[in-house]
Amino acid sequence: MRKIKNLIFLKKGFTLLELLVVIGIIAVLIGVGAVSYSTAQKKARDAKRRSDLKTVQNCMEQYYTTNSYQYQDLGSDGDDLNASDTIQCGGGKTLVVVDPINTTTYKYVITNTSAALYKITATLEGGGTFVVENLQ
């Protein structure tokens, strides 16, 4: 009977090696999860930028059809769209765009602006650029 009690007492808990293996596995899983999460966040912000540019393009086209077939002047070549910039859409609607990572400046560069054409470029975090331009 005494031997059984000693065996039960000796089998309580985990060895140091078992604990280190489990901690190592958990650390690897956390590292992989953190990298995946960061990548997913960048892709989501880039998707938001693309969506916002498409919304700006739709707004510009509405303005074009309701204002004697002229586009709204968004600024000079190379200007950035800022959070304080309001884009006029057709029918009296307005649009304000805010960058998903920086709430003060939207890093969209406007080029070739005139009443006849426009081109807006966004630099994506995942690399590359996304461009929308006049449809007319």
- 63-117: per-residue pLDDT in tens? 888 888 887 777 766 677 776 778 888 777 888 887 788 765 565 566 665 667 7
* pLDDT at residue number 8: 59
Mean pLDDT over each residue of the chain, to the nearest integer: 81
More confident: 18 or 75: 18
Write out the two tokens for 10: 């000796």
Longest dimension (CA), the chain: 100
Write out the two tokens for 112: 């070739």
3-state helix, strand, coil in the chain (%, to 5): 45, 20, 35
More confident: 123 or 16: 16
Tell me the backbone φ, ψ of residue 111, rounded to 5 degrees. Answer: -135, 160
> Is the pLDDT at 34 greater than 80, yes or no?
yes
* pLDDT at residue number 69: 80
